Amino acid sequence: MAKAILLSKHDGAPRAEVRELSAQEFPPAEVRLRVEYSSLNYKDALAIVKGEPIVRQWPMVPGIDGVGVVEESSHPDLKAGQRVVLNGWGVGERHWGCLAQYAGAKADWLVPLPASLDARDAMALGTAGYTAMLCVLKLEKHGVKPSDGEVLVTGAAGGVGSIATTLLARRGFSVVASTGRTGEAPYLEKLGASRVIDRKELSERGKPLEKEKWAAVVDSVGSNTLANACASTRYGGVVAACGLAQGMDLAMTVAPFILRSVTLAGVDSVIAPLAVRRTAWQYLADEIDRELLRVISHEVGLQEAIAVAPKLLAGEVRGRTVVDVN
């Protein structure tokens, strides 16, 4: 038997509950993992609270990421006992996810966990941390260097934002953290932000071009925030866009692109190729400060994760929520 959060639909409304499921109730899979930790990402919170459009099939076990040990594998490259990370690929959306003691996966989806990273730390990072690293790598691929000037991180007290702040600071960038929770300034400074700004400065519809401020941006917020971030990026700067916490809309002009040569670079974590994932996880293992990960993350159980989900959507959860599924 295995405990899992099970999402089901009752009279059109989603219901989330912790259930004991038999092994036979889990869908068959090429690889079966004994999950150690999962985490609560924005998408998981949406799945638990709202169901659709994240949940594509009912009933569903949510959890877009997890770390665990291979228990059974019909793939020659993956052996029982290997510790792996699973995230993306529609897990927790189309395929049963990791907010459970068991998870099934295709072998091609799994990244061996770098030996220097322990299981809990892997989920303190989770999809948010791995996406933050993809954003940092995207900026650097476009040639951004610490000497170019300040880098703006939006949604800074959230999961992606917290990890992006600490990763960029560690790589020598001067990070400006934008947050709605200015009371979290000491936390963000501890992560390495050189200064903190109120997200109100970016939330409302602004002008096509603003004063040039940022050498680069990591944006997990979208909407007006992303538009304003582009409008205030310096000539030749790069904006890595990965999220939509403010909204999916994007009302702006082409002015930053055609007059300032700004690059808007999209970042996807879900179907990123395996080689990119391995690189990102290895960099995370090499660079993330384990002490700061303790500051960034807190731990809950499966039942509590259901209660935390609406708070996360309301922007009330700081940093990362690790879920101990056992």
Of 128 and 176, nearer to ligand NDP (C-beta) is: 128
Work out how close the CB of 274 gets to ligand NDP at its nearest, in angstroms, rounded to a whole number.
15
Measured in degrees and rounded to the nearest 5, phi and psi for residue 105 equal -155, 165
Q: Are 110 and 101 spatial neighbours (Cβ–Cβ below 8 Å)?
A: no
Burial of 24 (0-12, 13-18, 19+ CB in 10 A): exposed
152 neighbors 238 (Cβ within 8 angstroms): no
Between 124 and 267, whose beta carbon lies closer to ligand NDP? 267
Shortest separation between residue 133's beta carbon and ligand NDP, angstroms: 11
Q: Least distance from C-beta 28 to ligand NDP, angstroms?
A: 27
CA atoms within 13 A on the CB side of 106: 8
Query: Which residues in this chain contact ligand NDP in the complex, by CB under 6 A?
Result: 41-43, 127-128, 131, 155-161, 179-181, 199, 203, 220-221, 225, 242-246, 267-270, 312, 315, 317
Separation between Cα atoms, residue 30 and residue 105, nearest integer Å: 6
- Closer CB to ligand NDP, 26 or 89, in the complex: 89
Among the listed residues 114, 163, 159, 123, the one whose alpha carbon sits nearest the alpha carbon of residue 35: 123
* Least Å from the CB of residue 218 to ligand NDP: 10
The number of beta carbons lying within 10 Å of the beta carbon of residue 13 is: 9
DSSP three-state, residue 191 = helix
State the pairing for strand pair 83-87/110-112.
antiparallel
Question: Is the CB of 2 or the CB of 110 nearer to ligand NDP?
Answer: 110
Positive or negative: CA dihedral 298, 295, 179, 220:
negative
**Which residue, 232 or 269, has its beta carbon nearer to ligand NDP?**
269
Choose between 73 and 131: whose C-beta lies nearer to ligand NDP: 131
Radius of gyration of the chain from its Cα atoms, rounded to whole angstroms: 19
Q: Given the complex with ligand NDP, which of 166 and 269 has the nearer CB atom?
A: 269
Q: How far is the CB of 224 from ligand NDP (least distance, A)?
A: 8
CB of 245 to ligand NDP, least distance (A): 3
State the nearest-atom distance from the C-beta of 19 to ligand NDP, in Å: 25
C-alpha distance from residue 325 to each of 19, 43, 179, 268, 313 (Å): 12, 18, 30, 26, 21
Structure tokens at 150: 């300040």
* Residue at shortest CB range from ligand NDP: 158
The C-alpha angle with vertex 311 and arms to 309 and 314, in degrees rounded to 5, equals: 115
Structural contact between residues 292 and 170, judged by C-beta atoms closer than 8 angstroms: no
Nearer residue to ligand NDP within complex by CB, 6 or 244 = 244
Q: How far is the CB of 246 from ligand NDP (least distance, A)?
A: 3
